[in-house]
Structure 1
Amino acid sequence: MLFGFGMVLVGGCVVGTLYKMAVGRLPSLVAFAGLLAGSALYAEIHPWWTDLARRGHLASTVTLPQILGLPLLPLLAPLVVVAGFWLLRWARQGLLHQESYAEGHLQPWKAALLLALLSFASTLVIGMPMGVTTAYAKLAGMLENLIVPGHVANLAFFAAEPLNFIHPLWGLPLKGGPGPHLDGIALAQFPLIAGILCGAALSALRLGEWRFYARVPIKQCLWAFVGGTLMGFAARMAPACNVWHLMGGLPILAGQSLLFVAGLFPGAWLGSVVLRRYVIC
């Protein structure tokens, strides 16, 4: 809920913040600073939250099929059939193609297909879905380490190494965590962040639309920072962002991802209420 709330205030998710920042939007740059601040803030309450999460543990298994003791296919098949029916119906009605007069516009179904292929490639090459928020925590830890290195060294969050597995295809070990050092997380997520920034900037330059949007109301920037802080904080509580859960966990019906999506909608609704009343009023 916190993530959805913050996402609406920012006007984009953790990836949307990156590509909007890359084309010169000041609120997105402020939101990015908030994402780092929220990640650093979570590090302070990590032991408490971990204990609370352990108390609320629902099952020792990961996915809904494992929890129910059923194979994945019978649970996914009805969803695939319903989605396929509506896609076919929209295609016959011509609704998959949306008119746009913006240069460089990409049809939504093509964008969805490309994102699916990218997610598949990430899982195949790296061994896990795409994600960026642990790298945000890393950046926050690196910056904090420049100011108070002793404090960072004493925080359990930055000492943790939750990523530790052998790639099933390549047999290579991949280890890492949110600590302020280069590891497997840095290898997987820093290039993705750099690619999103460069791709967005190059696209805007090619279309002649890159410019720094500095004339933005202070109120909008302040709320963007609040939204970014909430997203960074919530992404560590979840513990992942919408990209990871929607494109990585939801297709295999992961319990965490199903709960994340369930909270995302009411959080986004609450964020829209605050946005209308206090931000764009």
Structure 2
Amino acid sequence: MSLQENRIFKAVIKEPWPYTTGAILLAVLNIALFAISNAPWGVTTAFSYWGGWLAKTFGIPVEQWFYFAEPHRQALKLSFFTHSGTLMNLGIIVGALLAALAASQFKLKKIKSVAQVIAAICGGLLMGYGARLAFGCNIGALFSGVASSSLHGWLFMVFMFVGAWIGSKLLVKYFM
């Protein structure tokens, strides 16, 4: 690898990109996704479908649940590998893993305590519940909401920062 190729590799793979580059790339990809799929970018709805498919596997009649009325009922007819949101989420997970590996930033961390595990589980459940209440996470409710000039996206942003501030205070108080 030549010196020039090595510099390009480091700039693109090893080192963090400038925020403006990331923002422009996200905007272009969001526009492309909307043009191709006719729907804004979302993440957490696919997770609710995963839960529905898993529950159906165990004989739970999720078709009768209010959440799985139209238009979500159609998703129950799909499978894990035929749902576009699922494929996109898997791509995000694999892409993040590959990016961390390429930048030599992948690390397995030791669990410090049972309290840390309980806090992580509670935090994950609260985030998932909040994402369903808000009809999305920071991608669907915030990023796609702001991009479409929706008031809910801007409100989500304000309360997301409030929640992050409160969460950071609790983190420092109880886990640092």
**Deviation by residue 1:208-256 (Cα, 9 ceiling, x = unmatched):** 4444334443322221111111111011111111112332221332122
Unaligned residue ranges in structure 2 (runs of 5+):
1-10
1:113 aligns to what? 24
Moved more, 236-245 or 208-217: 208-217
Q: 1:204 to 1:250 in 2, by over 3 A?
A: closer
Give the TM-score normalised by structure 1: 0.52
- Percent of paired sites with the same residue: 31
Alignment equivalent of 1:238, drawn from 120, 126, 134: 134
1:240-279 equivalence runs, <5 A = 240-279=136-175
The reply on whether 1:129 has 2:25 as its aligned counterpart is: no
How many equivalent pairs are there? 163
Deviating above 6 A after TM superposition, structure 1's stretches of 4 or more consecutive aligned residues are none
Q: 1:40-78 deviations in whole A, cap 9, x for unaligned?
A: xxxxxxxxxxxxxxxxxxxxxxxxxxxxxxxxxxxxxxx
- 1 or 2 for the larger relative contact order (CA 8 Å, sep ≥6)? 1
Alignment-mate amino acid for residue 65 of structure 2: L
CA distance in 1, matches of 2:119, 2:64: 31
Instruction: Indicate if the aligned counterparts of 2:14 and 2:102 stay in contact, CA closer than 8 A.
Output: no
Unaligned runs of 5+ in 1: 1-99, 163-175
Q: TM-score, normalization: structure 2?
A: 0.78
Query: d(CA) in 2 for partners of 1:220 and 1:178?
Result: 38
Q: Report SS of the residue matched to 2:135.
A: coil
Once superposed, what is the RMSD of the aligned Cα atoms? 2.6
Instruction: For residue 205 of structure 1, report the CA deviation from its aligned partner.
Output: 2.9
Instruction: Give yes or no for contact 1:116–1:247 (8 Å, CA) kept in 2.
Output: no
CA distance 1:129–1:192, shift in 2 (3 Å): same
Q: Is the 8 A contact 1:138 1:178 kept in 2?
A: no
Tell me if 1:220 matches 2:116.
Answer: yes
Mapped partners of 1:203, 1:272: distance in 2: 26
1:140-179 → structure 2 map (5 Å cutoff): 140-150=51-61, 152-158=62-68, 160-162=69-71, 176=72
The 1:255/1:205 distance shift into structure 2, 3 A limit, reads closer
Summarize the Cα distance change of 1:207–1:260 in structure 2 as closer, same or farther, 3 Å threshold: closer
User: Which SS does the other structure have where 1:149 is aligned?
Assistant: coil
